[in-house]
Structure 1
Amino acid sequence: MKFVDEATIDVVAGDGGNGCMSFRREKFLPFGGPNGGDGGRGGSVYAVGDRNLNTLIDFRYARRHEARRGENGRGSDQYGAAAEDIVLRMPMGTVITDAETDQVIAELLVPDEKVLIVKGGDGGFGNLHFKTSTNRAPRQKTPGWPGEQKKLKLELKVLADVGLLGMPNAGKSSLITAISNARPKIADYPFTTLHPNLGVVRVAPEQSFVVADIPGLIEGASEGAGLGHLFLRHLQRTHLLLHLVDFAPFDDAVDPVAQAKAIVAELKKYDQALFEKPRWLVLNKLDMVPLEEREKRVKDFVKRFKWKGPVFQISALTREGCDTLIRAIYDHVATLKNVVPDDPDPRFDEAPTGSAS
């Protein structure tokens, strides 16, 4: 299935039905009185977060969603029927924004929670509604109220605890394959990952967290190089970023430190809040570095990169160091969730102290 994380749609709620002016006319009842009913309510449009969906592809082709109008009132005290509501099922993490005002209407963070997008118009009043002790033959009636309509921008931001960040071929897809149930495409050329992948990492039967893998960044992404910043929004809801570095590039002319600095620079250009998220350094592909050279090269990298946070040495291919990384991630994420249990999308600025290798 094609991955789509943006869409623009039109939603139109139904108008309310018109009220009816009618009088009761029966034999032997010359003063029957008014009996015109009210109009029915127009249909509203709701959005619901569905954990079984992971793309906005349905809204790329179905761009207009219009509810029916309510029935008009009738005589004989008959009120018009209300129109059925429309429920749009969207992936969890979808942000719904008014395209004209840029106001965020809703964020779908709770499964199966219904959010009103546009409200249907109320039905008009029939003359039965205006009957009083002094106005026994009212001839007033009102039309139905119009329903709301909006042009909406849908933007999907995947819900994950941990996000993988790095250059193409840094080993992000290999890592998420090694530690989770995700099976993204893996190849020996850049940009094999063309859309975000989510994987659930099981630490224990009752302990797990979700990892998001996005397409790799390269220097100049802010100017549109590579895939640009197209998928960085999917890291905005994460609690922790893992900065993966290819520690043993095939080309000796490639400097891993320069690549790592380029990633940090692009991250800062895109979003300051994302740049300030807790970020751990993960040096990958250490199986290609001789054992006697690892410690020296790691120290040299950390010194030149001027890194003061946690450092992990792993090999996604052989799973060396992956168990230590998984346990540290789970402990960190679990601590954050316990600190703010009611916030579905917390923003944490403090990085963990200490290091592991």
Structure 2
Amino acid sequence: MLMNRGRHLYLKVIAKNLLLFIIAVLILDYLAVLGYIHAHAYNAEGKVESFDKVKLMKEHLRTVYYYFTHLTEKNRSGRALYSYILKSLILVLFAEVFILILGLYLGLRAGYNGGWTDRMLSVLAPVFSAIPPWFIAVVLLYTLYWKMSMLPVDFEGYLRRAIMEGNSTALAYVLGLILPALTLVLAMVWEYAFNVRNLIKFESNESHVLYDRARGLPEGRIKRKLLRIALPAFMTFTTYNFLEILMSVFVVEVIFNVHGIGWILAYSFRLGHSVQGVSYYYNSYGVFFAAFVMLLFYFVNAVVMESIYLHLDPRIGREGRA
């Protein structure tokens, strides 16, 4: 009975997020079409051309389908399309794993023990919430690259040299992504940790925790219990803030020359110079493809995080137990 209910809840999570995914894709497809129409609205005679919006939306969807069925096909620069998605995915996973680990550790320590960790988070969380990730990227560029020459800053150039010299590609990926990942972690870990700290502080004053302390339970055991209680709410917070991580990843990719989905998005918006003056380039297919992949990442993240929430929350599926 409980197993069937649990399976039903998991399917409900997938169905809900799939529906949201489809709705968001259609909305972004329509917006991309409007941008295409605006960029190509006038013909050579200066007259406004008419466009079939539904037809253009179908063309965008067919193009994305073609891209995903030809992921190994190389473009003019000799890169396969899957490599762009892979680089963004690796960077997202790097950032989120370290944010989760450090955020949980710092938040649990600050919320339960207080002291200098609590004071540090209370100061750094609002400060870094107001600082954009690109500014942190510039600071890291100045200190770790220009001043100290410790880490590579041009990811594609570093990866290309590693391949030409016969060095390990996996090691080049790791070393090349340290600065981008460090930028994202420094920009976002404090807010995550501060939310965990607030959850832990609230739960620390509950009667069951006071009872455990009165029983003389070890501090480590009480902390693990508090972490189990706070983790589901933290997973929910992570789910709805994942888009913020994605958007920051796209910006960081441009700064550190990581040819991922963010680089495709930036390449789809360009200013150029022509005999008429400054011209604006807008590739609606590239924009929609980048948005589609971003939503796909978010869909997978939401399903995984909400499934973990169902698994961790002791109240789920146990309402009818007597």
Tell me which interval the TM-score lies in, with the shorter structure as reference length: under 0.3
Structure having the higher helix fraction is: 2
TM-score (normalizing by structure 1): 0.19
TM-score (normalizing by structure 2): 0.21
